[in-house]
């Protein structure tokens, strides 16, 4: 014979309500800024919506996803950035941090020099970078020509445009460098001393001491940079516009992703579809695609992050 | 005290719900209110109306304020609160959010179709008819870019017309070309290269990526058609586009794409005093009538002339025509004082004095026949070219369509690939442009 569970004490019910009440600002925030937009996005994705009129069209927006040539192009570009720009930025920042902490003199000066570009407003930095790399008037190609190298059309050649953006990313990696510096300085010195006594050279010390110790920071850098790359928008849009010399005058049009859609990222295409064409329903499908991709990447990286934490 | 968090939660929820439903209240619609017409309109009650426009420079804003001052003489009880530098996105967002101004003006005609179809801008037809305004005082082309599916939801405020500018010193006594064949010949003749073959002076830059050389501006030179009667793309089936692209590619190839691109990228900003036309780097350019005002400001000593755009050799009857579009103005849905707004729009778009004031200050083309013929309109030879282009019966515009921005981008992107040599089969490429435009049209509901 089993007895009925006893009713929760009166004070516990009161506690529960109180906890719920204290949590309510968070619940309201998540509901308004996450759950509601997410549900709305799914809802609108089945509609033709131009911000004025709403019409249910079933799966038409999803079908159009497979007819839209620029989705494939923008997804390829975004994945390129994840595959190449993220590792390049992380490795370069780590290398810079290693260099700076090993120097005996001028550390503060170098740290400042490397950090300064990350303080430059992103729009100004991108415009300046495109001007510096202008194949006709930019100083970079001029300097290269002095040593007999014919510089490429950095932002005008589809083969060079994404590497040029990566260079821009490396130039502004000061913040990540500072984070790595803090992690590297946190590695206990006695571990290096013990490894040295055991005959480990610099590379072995880096692999067996430094990397395992800073693994959580490294994973953090990877996760945040992958998410950043998936959301990559402003620099690509600005570089594309400046390189094309495009204006927004009546009757003129701008081809997003110039040159040859090589700088068209998924968030850029989403913006274009939603806020230039006002095809909000289809833009919602693109948003869900981006959301799904981000979730998959984040889950994979977080799993790796946990493993790295356990290993360290 | 135990009720405090509950009260906070209730307040948050309440404010969130309020925020979700805010801005849904629509204002009175145009023509719905009893309205005294004609001269009795001055009996409208006192009100302050909001006007959003895209003009931003001091000179532009002053010109606009001068025109509004003329309206205030007629309607002293109406105060116009003008907001400058407003773009279409802001207008759309405001209408959507229920905070629309009473009057909104846009520099581009790209969104007219969407505004008309969705009712975001109110149909002016009832009040136009009520006030007995004869819209035939506007050229047919201006009527076509301000209306969609039978709804006249905007009116033209000022227009832009596109023609050819030429630097007289660089022309070496040559007359401006009238056909594409003559343009090619002259462009080659006037181009100067250095020992490495790099371009120093270009006779004409045929690249679609150069400033105003967009497909919509170039198309009228060959009489190219964008759409069929059912709204589907005509680009792949109209031989005029192929004619234009073939001509353009031949000239690009003569320059050498890489050389031309390098030269293009070395040129100054289109909107600054560094424009290459001012500095003798390009002999002939395609541009709008507003360039006259910019030259007057930034390159006072420049000896230049203007002419209609050259046309296809086999279509001489097109000569004298060109592309036109312009600023449009209307009453958004949700306007608080639609009748007052209409009076302002009527004044700005049909009053000859107002149009002439604006045109003389901004050097844009006035839109009514009376204003174009007004003795007060400042007409030098270079500006008159554009008045004639605007009034030419074969002058065309980009017909209003719900995907105007998308369609122009698709064509522009294709032409960029074409001139670079990335397209091997022109016919197949143009058919693909058709497909992209038609697929998008289908998605947008036809």
**Res A61 pLDDT > 90:** yes
pLDDT, residue B439, reads: 95
Q: Classify residue A27: in a domain, yes or no.
A: no
CB B52 within 8 A of CB B91: yes
- Pair of tokens at residue B133: 């305004």
Report the residue from B211, B266, B325 with minimal CB separation from A137.
B266
**Res A53 pLDDT > 70:** yes
pLDDT, residue B88, reads: 86
B106 to chain A, minimum CA–CA distance in Å? 9
Instruction: Between B8 and A91, name the one with better pLDDT.
Output: A91
Question: For residue A273, what is the nearest residue in chain B, using CA coordinates?
Answer: B406
Sequence spans of domains, chain B: 44-160+324-391
Q: Classify residue A185: in a domain, yes or no.
A: yes
CB A254 within 8 A of CB A243: no
| Percent of chain B with pLDDT strictly greater than 70 | 91
Phi, psi torsion values for B283, nearest 5 degrees: -80, -40
Instruction: Between A214 and A1, name the one with better pLDDT.
Output: A214
The region that residue B427 occupies, defined by phi over 0 for left and psi between -120 and 50 for alpha, beta otherwise, is alpha
Q: Which domain holds residue A116?
A: 63-311
Q: pLDDT digits over A69-88, tens only?
A: 899 999 999 999 999 999 99
CB B211 within 8 A of CB A245: yes
Report the residue from A247, A250, A260 with minimal CB separation from B270.
A247
pLDDT, residue B16, reads: 36
**Which domain CATH number covers A231?**
1.10.3720.10
State the pLDDT confidence band at B33, using cuts at 50, 70 and 90: low
Instruction: Between A256 and B247, name the one with better pLDDT.
Output: B247
State the pLDDT confidence band at B268, using cuts at 50, 70 and 90: confident
Q: How many domains does chain A have?
A: 1
Contact B412 A253 (CB under 8 A): yes
User: What does the DSSP 8-state code read for residue B165?
Assistant: E
- Interface residue A51 vs chain B (CB under 8 A): yes
pLDDT, residue B236, reads: 97
CB A122 within 8 A of CB A234: yes
Closest-CA residue to A229 (of A191, A197, A265)? A265
- Rounded to whole angstroms, the Cα distance separating A155 from A242 reads 9
Question: For residue B446, what is the nearest residue in chain A, using CA coordinates?
Answer: A48
Average pLDDT over residues B3-21: 39
Poorest-pLDDT segment among A239-253, A256-270, B216-230: A239-253
Average pLDDT over residues A109-122: 91
User: What value does the mean pLDDT of chain B take?
Assistant: 89
**Res B192 pLDDT > 90:** yes
CB A187 within 8 A of CB A213: yes
Q: B44-160+324-391 maps to which CATH number?
A: 3.40.190.10
Taking one residue from A and the other from B, the number of pairs with CB-CB distance under 8 angstroms is 137
CB B55 within 8 A of CB B84: yes
pLDDT, residue B56, reads: 81
CB B251 within 8 A of CB B208: no
- Identify each DSSP E strand in B205-260 by its residue range: none
- Interface residue A58 vs chain B (CB under 8 A): no
State the pLDDT confidence band at B35, using cuts at 50, 70 and 90: low
Which 71-130 residues of chain A touch chain B by CB within 8 A? none
Poorest-pLDDT segment among A47-51, B3-7, B99-103: B3-7
- Residues of chain B in contact with residue A256, where contact means CB-CB under 8 angstroms, are 409
Instruction: Between B126 and B446, name the one with better pLDDT.
Output: B126
- Interface residue A141 vs chain B (CB under 8 A): no
CB B414 within 8 A of CB B242: no
Question: For residue A63, what is the nearest residue in chain B, using CA coordinates?
Answer: B443
Q: pLDDT digits over B433-445, tens only?
A: 999 999 999 998 8
- Residues of chain A in contact with residue B89, where contact means CB-CB under 8 angstroms, are 275
State the pLDDT confidence band at A6, using cuts at 50, 70 and 90: low
Report the residue from A22, A32, A255 with minimal CB separation from B409.
A255
- Write out the DSSP string of A60-92: HHHHHHTT-HHHHHHHHHHHHIIIIIHHHHHHH
Q: pLDDT digits over B292-313, tens only?
A: 999 998 999 999 999 999 999 9
**Where do we find the tokens 């992209």?**
B436
- Interface residue A258 vs chain B (CB under 8 A): yes
State the pLDDT confidence band at B19, using cuts at 50, 70 and 90: very low
pLDDT, residue A137, reads: 84
**Res B104 pLDDT > 50:** yes
- Rounded to whole angstroms, the Cα distance separating A4 from B41 reads 81
B443 to chain A, minimum CA–CA distance in Å? 7
Q: Which of B214, B291, B438 to mutate to test the interface with A (most CBs of A within 10 A)?
A: B214
B42 to chain A, minimum CA–CA distance in Å? 34
Closest-CA residue to B218 (of B338, B343, B322, B341)? B322
Report the residue from B13, B160, B420 with minimal CB separation from A250.
B160
Q: pLDDT digits over B144-169, tens only?
A: 899 999 999 999 999 999 999 999 99
State the pLDDT confidence band at B22, using cuts at 50, 70 and 90: very low
If residue B305 lies in a helix (H) or strand (E), which one and from where to where? strand B304-307
Q: Which of B15, B142, B226, B443 to mutate to test the interface with A (most CBs of A within 10 A)?
A: B443
- Interface residue A282 vs chain B (CB under 8 A): yes
- Identify each DSSP E strand in B212-290 by its residue range: 282-288
Poorest-pLDDT segment among B11-15, B28-32, B347-351, B390-394: B11-15
Does ipTM top 0.85? no
């Amino acid at each position: 014979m089993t007895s009925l569970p006893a009713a929760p004490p009166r004070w516990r019910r009161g506690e529960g309500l109180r906890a719920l009440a204290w949590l309510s600002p968070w619940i309201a925030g998540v509901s308004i800024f996450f759950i509601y937009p997410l549900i709305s996005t799914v809802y609108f994705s089945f509609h033709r919506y131009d911000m004025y009129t709403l019409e249910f069209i079933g799966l038409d927006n999803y079908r159009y996803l497979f007819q839209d040539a620029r989705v494939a192009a923008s997804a390829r570009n975004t994945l390129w950035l994840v595959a190449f720009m993220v590792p390049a930025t992380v490795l370069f920042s780590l290398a810079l941090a290693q260099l700076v902490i090993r120097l005996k003199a001028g550390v503060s000066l170098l740290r400042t020099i490397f950090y300064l570009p990350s303080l430059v407003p992103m729009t100004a930095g991108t415009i300046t970078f495109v001007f510096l790399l202008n194949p006709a008037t930019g100083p970079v190609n001029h300097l290269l020509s002095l040593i007999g190298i014919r510089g490429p059309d950095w932002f005008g050649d589809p083969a060079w445009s994404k590497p040029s953006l990566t260079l821009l990313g490396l130039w502004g990696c000061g913040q990540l460098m500072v984070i790595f510096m803090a992690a590297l300085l946190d590695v206990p010195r006695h571990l290096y001393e013990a490894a040295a006594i055991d005959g480990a050279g610099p590379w072995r010390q880096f692999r067996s001491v430094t990397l395992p110790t800073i693994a959580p920071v490294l994973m953090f850098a990877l996760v945040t940079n992958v998410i950043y790359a998936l959301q990559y928008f402003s620099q690509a849009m600005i570089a594309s516009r400046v390189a094309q010399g495009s204006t927004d005058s009546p009757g003129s049009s701008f081809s997003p992703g110039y040159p040859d859609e090589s700088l068209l990222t998924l968030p850029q295409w989403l913006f274009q579809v939603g806020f230039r064409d006002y095809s909000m329903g289809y833009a919602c499908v693109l948003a869900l695609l981006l959301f799904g991709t981000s979730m998959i990447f984040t889950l994979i990286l977080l799993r790796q992050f946990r493993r790295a934490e356990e290993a360290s | 005290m135990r009720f405090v968090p509950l009260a906070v939660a209730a307040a948050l929820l309440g404010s969130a719900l309020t925020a979700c439903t805010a801005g849904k209240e629509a204002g009175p619609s145009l023509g719905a209110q009893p309205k005294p017409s004609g001269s009795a309109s001055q009996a409208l009650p006192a009100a302050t109306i909001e006007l959003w426009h895209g003009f931003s420079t001091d000179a532009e804003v002053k010109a606009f304020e001068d025109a509004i001052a003329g309206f205030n003489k007629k309607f002293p009880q109406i105060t116009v609160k003008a907001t400058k530098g407003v773009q279409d996105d802001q207008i759309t967002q405001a209408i959507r959010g229920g905070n629309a101004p009473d009057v909104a003006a846009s520099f581009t005609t790209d969104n007219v179709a969407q505004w008309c179809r969705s009712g975001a801008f109110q149909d002016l037809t009832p009040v136009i008819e009520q006030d007995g305004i004869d819209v035939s005082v506007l050229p047919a082309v201006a009527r076509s870019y301000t209306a969609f599916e039978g709804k006249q939801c905007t009116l033209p405020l000022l227009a832009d017309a596109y023609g050819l500018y030429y630097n007289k010193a660089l022309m070496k006594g040559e007359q401006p070309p009238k056909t594409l064949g003559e343009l090619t010949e002259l462009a080659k003749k006037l181009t100067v290269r250095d020992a490495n073959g790099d371009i120093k002076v270009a006779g004409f830059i045929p690249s679609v990526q150069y400033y105003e050389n967009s497909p919509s501006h170039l198309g009228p030179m060959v009489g190219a058609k964008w759409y069929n009667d059912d709204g589907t793309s005509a680009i792949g089936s109209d031989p005029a586009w192929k004619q234009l692209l073939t001509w353009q590619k031949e000239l690009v190839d003569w320059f050498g794409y890489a050389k031309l691109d390098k030269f293009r990228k070395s040129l100054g900003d289109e909107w600054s005093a560094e424009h290459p036309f001012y500095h003798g780097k390009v002999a002939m350019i395609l541009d709008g009538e507003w360039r006259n005002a910019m030259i007057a400001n930034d390159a006072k000593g420049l000896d230049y002339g203007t002419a209609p755009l050259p046309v296809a050799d086999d279509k001489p009857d097109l000569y004298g025509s060109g592309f036109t579009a312009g600023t449009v103005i209307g009453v958004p849905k949700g306007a608080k004082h639609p009748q007052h707004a209409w009076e302002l729009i009527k004044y700005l778009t049909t009053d000859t004095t107002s149009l002439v004031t604006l045109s003389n200050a901004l050097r844009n083309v006035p839109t009514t026949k009376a204003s174009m013929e007004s003795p007060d309109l400042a007409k030098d030879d270079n500006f008159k070219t554009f008045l004639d282009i605007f009034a030419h019966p074969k002058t065309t515009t980009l017909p209003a369509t719900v995907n105007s921005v998308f369609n122009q981008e698709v064509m522009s992107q294709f032409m960029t690939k074409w001139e670079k040599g990335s397209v091997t089969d022109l016919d197949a490429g143009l058919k693909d442009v058709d497909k992209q435009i038609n697929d998008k049209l289908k998605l947008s509901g036809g």
